[in-house]
Amino acid sequence: MADRTRWALASLVAAVLILTGCSAVNEDDLSERLTASASIAVFNGATVEVQHPGAPWVNKMVVRVFVDDESAEGVAAAVSQVAVFAVDDPALGGEDITFMAYPGFPEDYADGGLGVSYLPIMGSVSEITGGTGREGVLELSAADIQRLAAEQ
């Protein structure tokens, strides 16, 4: 392979990594930091996933929170705790975040089941936190997250 071709290929790979933002976000590390920030009894853990709907350079931050209190108020408390963490986090700060909530702990879903086990109360949660909620998904804008964190 000619040097020119190698350089072009390396440049293309670097450009894709820069555009996708994947090289900057370590989902496992971010999930661990978020879980460690949780107040006792607010949530049992969280996972963060960066999705790319429509194009590789489009980043959609998805946070799954795992709770004991499955009520809208309990999930809203978990979402609020994530908001407090998110505003100062370099990966989540200034980002819109999509939330999903699940009963139990992340390890309860090690063999799958996340797709059907979510709590279908996010419409009610949105009445407490703001944002847009429907069945299993709550979407908060960066402004919603900043407002929610400031209220804590």
**pLDDT tens-digit series, residues 96-150:** 999 999 999 999 998 888 888 999 999 999 999 999 999 999 999 999 999 999 9
- CATH (domain of 63): 3.30.300
* DSSP labels, 45-113: EEEEEEE-SSSTT--EEEEEEEES--SHHHHHHHHHHHHHHHHH-TTTTT--EEEEEEES-GGGGTTS-
Question: Do the domain assignments include residue 14?
Answer: no
Q: What is the mean pLDDT of residues 2-19?
A: 46
Range(s) of the domain holding residue 30: 26-150
The proportion of the chain whose per-residue pLDDT surpasses 90, expressed as a percent, equals 58
Question: Do the domain assignments include residue 3?
Answer: no
Question: Do the domain assignments include residue 21?
Answer: no
Question: Do the domain assignments include residue 127?
Answer: yes
Total-model pTM = 0.80
Question: Do the domain assignments include residue 18?
Answer: no
**pLDDT tens-digit series, residues 60-90:** 899 999 999 999 999 999 999 999 999 999 9
Whether residue 5 is predicted with pLDDT greater than 80 in this model: the reply is: no
Whether residue 10 is predicted with pLDDT greater than 80 in this model: the reply is: no
Q: What is the pLDDT of residue 18?
A: 44
Number of H helices, E strands in the chain: 6, 5
Question: Do the domain assignments include residue 119?
Answer: yes
Question: Do the domain assignments include residue 82?
Answer: yes
Round to whole Å and give the CA distance between 146 and 141: 9
Q: What is the pLDDT of residue 28?
A: 86
Question: Do the domain assignments include residue 20?
Answer: no
